[in-house]
């Protein structure tokens, strides 16, 4: 943490659970943004490896990235993300974005978010496969975007995403690539502070629907790009990955992925 910069209007939250191997590349991608006027909150979700130590070591070696480490012991990416969002808002953030520790963001990711802040209250971007993650096979480069595209289309017609309480049509905002205006985050109630096994729906979909009750300005931004690890696709296979993105309705077993 630099501790010397003025309050930033945009923050990025990164929930972390046992991500020692992947977190450095995520942080490196954030440090290479064309728009560097933002701060980062890395939320350690009670990791049992040395993720926090790895993050601290990386930040000390790269002081140009304006970042802090926050802790959250309550299990779940919803709780971790909510803690990070509320910390950022308390520090003066007008917008808060989120990505995940196994992702890398495109160099103009922050710039793509900032270009849309006057026309929306919540933004969701495009997810692609990481090309630096154990040499993804050609089918993996196609399957993950196709899976998310199917889930995006299904979300528009899913009965639970439709109702008179919503001010605009459903827009899928995947948890690893979204941003929301701080006032609408607080007004909507934010991420559910629940572990995945306690949730009736994924926490990112829950947040989108909560925001849709207080805003008609939820937008999909195709040039807001995040590259996601293919490890879930490899572990689950195509059919189970489709189920995962549809409603998280599968037994994750002992697969160590940030699906808390």
Thinking of the domain 10-247, which architecture would CATH place it in?
Answer: Alpha-Beta Complex (3.90)
Residue ranges per structural domain of the chain: 10-247
pTM: 0.86
Tokens of 237: 């296979």
Cα–Cα distance, 33 to 27 (Å, whole number): 10
Cα–Cα distance, 30 to 108 (Å, whole number): 10
Cα–Cα distance, 90 to 168 (Å, whole number): 28
Burial class (CB in 10 A: 0-12, 13-18, 19+), 253: exposed
User: What is the full per-residue pLDDT of the chain (260 aa) written as tens digits?
Assistant: 434 455 689 999 999 999 999 999 999 999 999 999 999 999 999 999 999 999 999 999 999 999 999 999 999 999 999 999 999 999 999 999 999 999 999 999 999 999 999 999 999 999 888 877 655 566 666 666 777 777 778 788 889 899 999 999 999 999 999 999 999 999 999 999 988 778 778 899 999 999 999 999 999 999 999 998 866 555 555 565 556 555 555 444 333 444 45
Distances (CA, A) of 222 to 65, 125, 170, 179, 226: 26, 5, 16, 13, 10
Q: Do 51 and 23 form a contact (C-beta atoms < 8 A)?
A: yes
Looking at the DSSP bridge assignments, the partners of residue 226 are 105, 127
Contacts of 83 (CB under 8 A, 6+ apart): 43, 70, 72, 74
């Amino acid at each position: 943490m630099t501790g010397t910069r003025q309050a930033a209007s945009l923050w990025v939250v990164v929930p972390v659970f046992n991500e020692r191997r992947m977190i450095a590349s995520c942080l490196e991608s954030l440090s290479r943004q064309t728009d560097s006027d933002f701060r980062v909150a890395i939320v350690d979700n009670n990791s049992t490896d040395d993720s926090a130590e790895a993050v601290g070591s990386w930040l000390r070696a790269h002081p140009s990235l304006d970042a802090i480490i926050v802790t959250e012991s309550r299990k779940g990416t919803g709780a971790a993300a909510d803690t990070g969002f509320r910390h950022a808002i308390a520090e003066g953030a007008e917008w808060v974005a989120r990505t995940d520790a196994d992702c890398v963001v495109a160099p103009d990711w922050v710039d793509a978010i900032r270009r849309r802040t006057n026309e929306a209250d919540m933004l969701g971007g495009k997810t692609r496969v990481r090309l630096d993650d154990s040499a993804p096979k050609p089918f993996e480069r196609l399957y993950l975007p196709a899976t998310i595209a199917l889930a995006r289309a299904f979300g528009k017609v899913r009965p639970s995403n439709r109702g008179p309480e919503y001010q605009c049509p459903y827009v899928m905002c995947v948890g690893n690539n979204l941003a929301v205006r701080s006032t609408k985050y607080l007004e909507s109630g934010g991420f559910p502070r629940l572990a995945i096994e306690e949730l009736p729906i994924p926490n990112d979909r829950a947040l989108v629907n909560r925001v849709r009750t207080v805003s008609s300005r939820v937008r999909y931004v195709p040039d807001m790009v995040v590259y996601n690890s293919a490890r879930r696709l490899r572990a689950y296979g195509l059919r189970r990955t489709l189920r995962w993105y549809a409603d998280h309705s599968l037994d994750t077993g002992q697969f160590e992925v940030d699906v808390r």
